[in-house]
Structure 1
Amino acid sequence: MSLMASPSTVDVEKNNRMEASLYWAAEKGEIQVFMLKVNELRLDQLLTPDNNTILHVHIRASTTDKVFVREILNMCPPLLLQTNAKGETPLHVAARYGHVRIVKSLIKHAKSSDRQQMRDLESAVARDSEATKQMLRMRNKEKDTALHEAVRFRRLEVVRILIKEDPHYSFSANEDGETPLYIAVEGRYGVLVDEILDNCSSPATSGPNGRTVLHAAIIARDKGMTRKLLAKTENLTRKADAWGYIPLHYAALLPVDVDIVKLLLEKDACSAYVQNGKGMTALHIAANSSYVGCREVMKEIILRCPDSCEVVDHEGQNFLHFAVKSSTYEALKVILNHSSLGNYLLNEKDNAGNTPFLGMAANSHWKESILNAFLSHPHVNKMAFNKENKNFLDMVTYYYGFKKKFITGERMKIKYGIRPHLRRAIGEDDEESHRYLPRFLKIMEKSKEIILIVATLIATVTFTAGFMLPGGYVSSKGPLQGAAILRGNTAFQAFVITDTVALGLSISAVLINLVMRTSDDEWKIIGCHVMSWYLTMLALVFMLIAFVTGTYAVLVPSLMLAIATCLVGLLFLCLSFFWTRIVRSVDRFFIYV
Structure 2
Amino acid sequence: MDELIVSISSTFSKTSCITDLLLPLELDRIEAQRSTDASHDQQNRTYLPMNIHGSQDFSQSGGDGVTPLTGDTESVPEFLTNLRLSDIFAIRGKDVRMTPLIFSQISYGKKACLDLLRSREIPVARLKSDTGDSILHLAVKWGHIELVKEIVCECPCLLLEPNSSGQTPLHVAAHGGHTAIVEAFVALVTFASAKLGNEESERMNPYVLKDEDGNTALHLAIEGLYLEIARCLVKANWDAPFLGNNKGISSLYMAVEAGEVSLVKAILKTTDDEDLEGTKSNLESKIQGYKYLAHVALQAGSIAGVLDVILDECPTLVNERDQKGRTCLSFAASSGNYQGVCKLLARSTMSVYIRNDDGSYPIHTAAEYSQWTSVRYILDRCPDSKHLLNKHGQNVLHIGVKHGKYVSTLLMQIKDMEHLGVEQDVDGNTPLHLAVMNWNYDSIPSLVNSRKILRLRNKRGLRARDIIELEVKPNYIFEERWTMALFLYICHLRGFESVKSLTKPAEPLDPKNNRDYVNTLLLVAALVATMTFAAGFTLPGGFNSSAPHLGRATLATKPTLSIFLLLDILAMQSSLATIGTLIWAQLGDPVLIRSSLHVALPLLLFALLCMPMAFLFGVVTAVGHVKWLLVIICFISLIFFFWAIFVLGPHVMLQRPYISPKNTGFFLVTFMQYKEIFEFIAIWINILFCGCY
Partner of 1:589: none
Moved more, 245-254 or 455-464: 455-464
Q: Which aligned pairs between 1:371-410 and structure 2 lie closer than 5 A?
A: 371-372=445-446, 375=449, 381-397=453-469, 400=479, 405-406=484-485, 408-409=487-488
Aligned ranges 1:515-526 → 2 under 5 Å: 515-516=584-585, 526=594
Greater C-alpha Rg: 2
Say if 2:156 is the partner of 1:70: no
Shift of residue 295, structure 1, vs aligned partner: 2.8
| Aligned mates of 1:480, 1:47 — CA distance in 2 | 108
Q: Secondary structure at the match of 1:381?
A: helix
Equivalent of residue 518 in structure 2, options 448, 453, 464:
448
Contact persistence 2:209–2:216 (CA under 8 A): yes
Deviation of the 1:365 alpha carbon: 3.4
Equivalent position of 1:510 in the other structure: 579
Q: Distance in 2 between the 1:575 and 1:44 partners?
A: 81
C-alpha offsets along residues 87-145 of structure 1, whole Å, 9 cap, x if unaligned? 32221122234333211211333455698xxxxx6xx2435623431x11111121110
Any unmatched runs of 5+ in structure 2? 1-49, 51-86, 272-280, 649-674, 680-693
Distance 1:9 1:320 in 2: 72
1:9 positional shift: 11
Deviations 1:19-59 (A, max 9, x none): 67515522xxx434533454456555666664445544443
Matches within 5 A, 1:12-411: 16-18=99-101, 21-22=104-105, 25-26=108-109, 30-39=110-119, 43=124, 50-62=131-143, 66-111=145-190, 124-126=196-198, 129-133=201-205, 135-169=206-240, 171-200=242-271, 201=281, 204-205=286-287, 212-224=292-304, 225-233=306-314, 235-257=316-338, 260=341, 263=344, 269=350, 272-277=353-358, 279-299=359-379, 302-303=382-383, 306=384, 309-314=387-392, 316-326=393-403, 337=414, 339=416, 343=419, 345-367=420-442, 371-372=445-446, 375=449, 381-397=453-469, 400=479, 405-406=484-485, 408-409=487-488, 411=490
- How far apart are the structure 1 equivalents of 2:628 and 2:136? 74
CA–CA distance in structure 2, aligned partners of residues 44 and 494 of structure 1: 101
* Mapped contact 2:242–2:288 kept (Cα < 8 A): no
Identity of counterpart residues, as a percentage? 25
Moved more, 508-517 or 45-54: 45-54
> SS at 1:215's partner residue?
helix
> In the aligned structure 2, how far is the partner of 1:211 from the partner of 1:307?
27
Q: Is the 8 A contact 1:238 1:271 kept in 2?
A: no
Matched, 1:3 2:102: no
TM-score (normalizing by structure 2): 0.64
SS for the counterpart of 1:227 is: helix
- Would the alpha carbon gap of residues 199 and 114 (structure 1) be closer, same or farther in structure 2, given more than 3 Å must change? closer
Match of 1:457 among 527, 530, 537: 527
Q: Residues 567 and 142 (structure 1 numbering): CA distance in 2 closer, same or farther, change over 3 Å?
A: farther
Residues 1:551 and 1:268: Cα distance change in structure 2 (over 3 Å): closer
Deviation of 1:190 (Å): 1.4
Q: Is the CA contact (8 Å cut-off) linking 1:283 and 1:319 kept in structure 2?
A: yes
Moved more, 326-335 or 186-195: 326-335
Distance 1:98 1:553, change over 3 A: farther
Return the alpha-carbon distance in structure 2 between the equivalents of residues 491 and 32 of structure 1.
Answer: 101
Does the aligned pair in 2 maintain the 1:548–1:569 contact within 8 Å? Answer: yes
Question: Structure 2 counterpart of 1:284, which letter?
Answer: H
Question: How far 1:146 moved relative to its partner?
Answer: 0.6
The secondary structure found in structure 2 opposite 1:129 is helix
1:426 aligns with none
Report the equivalent of 2:37: none
CA contact (8 A) 1:167 1:199 kept: yes
CA spacing shift, 1:211–1:453, aligned 2, 3 Å: farther
Where does structure 1 lack aligned partners over 5 or more consecutive residues? Answer: 116-120, 422-429, 586-593
- Identify if the C-alpha distance between structure 1 residues 492 and 50 changes in structure 2 by more than 3 Å, giving closer, same or farther: farther
CA contact (8 A) 1:353 1:385 kept: yes
Contact 1:494/1:546, CA 8 A, preserved across alignment: yes
Comparing 33-42 and 219-228, the one that deviates more: 33-42
Going from structure 1 to structure 2, the CA distance change for 1:144 and 1:18 (only over 3 Å counts) comes to farther
Please give the root-mean-square deviation of Cα atoms over the aligned residues, in Å.
4.9
Matches within 5 A, 1:524-535: 526=594, 528-529=596-597, 532-533=600-601, 535=603
Q: Please say if residues 170 and 185 of structure 2, whose CA atoms lie closer than 8 Å, have aligned partners that are also in contact.
A: yes
1:198 Cα deviation after fit = 0.9
Retained in 1: the 8 A contact 2:409–2:446? no
Do the aligned partners of 2:162 and 2:168 also contact (CA within 8 Å) in 1?
yes
Q: Could you tell me how far 1:84 is from its partner in structure 2?
A: 3.8
Q: Any idea what SS the aligned residue of 1:223 has? A: coil
Distance 1:99 1:58 in 2: 11
Distance across 1 between alignment mates of 2:146 and 2:513: 79
**Partner residue of 2:78?**
none
> Residues 32 and 449 from structure 1, CA distance in 2 versus in 1: closer, same or farther, beyond 3 angstroms?
same
Mapped contact 1:211–1:242 kept (Cα < 8 A):
no
Q: Which amino acid aligns with 1:462?
A: T
Query: CA-to-partner distance for each residue in 1:472-514, whole Å, 9 max, x for gaps?
Result: 655x453444345676899977765554444234223323433
CA distance, structure 2, for counterparts of residue 9 and residue 337 of structure 1: 79
Provide the rounded CA distance (Å) in 2 between the counterparts of 1:247 and 1:52.
44
How much has 1:247 moved relative to structure 2? 1.9
Distance 1:579 1:413, change over 3 A: closer
Q: Which amino acid aligns with 1:529?
A: L
2:66 maps to what in 1?
none
In the alignment, is the contact (CA less than 8 A) between 1:91 and 1:146 conserved in 2? yes
Change (3 A) 1:102 1:8: farther
Deviation string, structure 1 residues 300-337 (Cα, Å, up to 9, x no partner): 5634xx367242333x4222211233456655665775
**Number of aligned residues:** 547
Distance in 1 of aligned mates of 2:125 and 2:623: 86
